[in-house]
Amino acid sequence: MCPVQLFDVVSVSYTATLPSGEVIDASPEGKPLTLAIGSGRILRAVEASLLGMEPGQTKTVHIQPEDAFGPYHQGLVQEVPRKVFAGRIDPAPGMVLSLNLEKEGANHQVPATVLAAGKESVTIDYNHPLAGRVVTYTVTLHAIGN
Query: pLDDT tens track of the chain, all 146 residues?
Result: 689 998 999 999 999 999 999 999 999 887 899 999 999 889 999 999 999 999 999 999 999 999 999 999 999 999 999 998 888 899 999 999 988 877 788 888 889 999 999 999 999 999 999 999 999 999 999 999 85
Residues 87 and 16 in one domain: no
**Domain that includes residue 37, residue range:** 9-69+131-144
Give me the amino acid identity at 114: V
Residues 93 and 57 in one domain: no
Residues β-bridged to residue 113: 96, 125
Residues 104 and 121 in one domain: yes
Q: Give the Cα separation of 18 and 7 in Å (integer).
A: 29
Q: Give the Cα separation of 16 and 18 in Å (integer).
A: 7
CB atoms within 10 A of CB 136: 16
Q: What is the pTM of this model?
A: 0.81
The dihedral formed by the CA atoms of 110, 129, 141 and 144, expressed in degrees to the nearest 10: 10
Can you give the CATH number for the domain in which 112 is found?
Answer: 2.40.10.330
Residues β-bridged to residue 136: 17, 62
Residue 4 lies inside a defined structural domain of this protein: no
Residue 1 lies inside a defined structural domain of this protein: no
Q: Give the number of domains in the chain.
A: 2
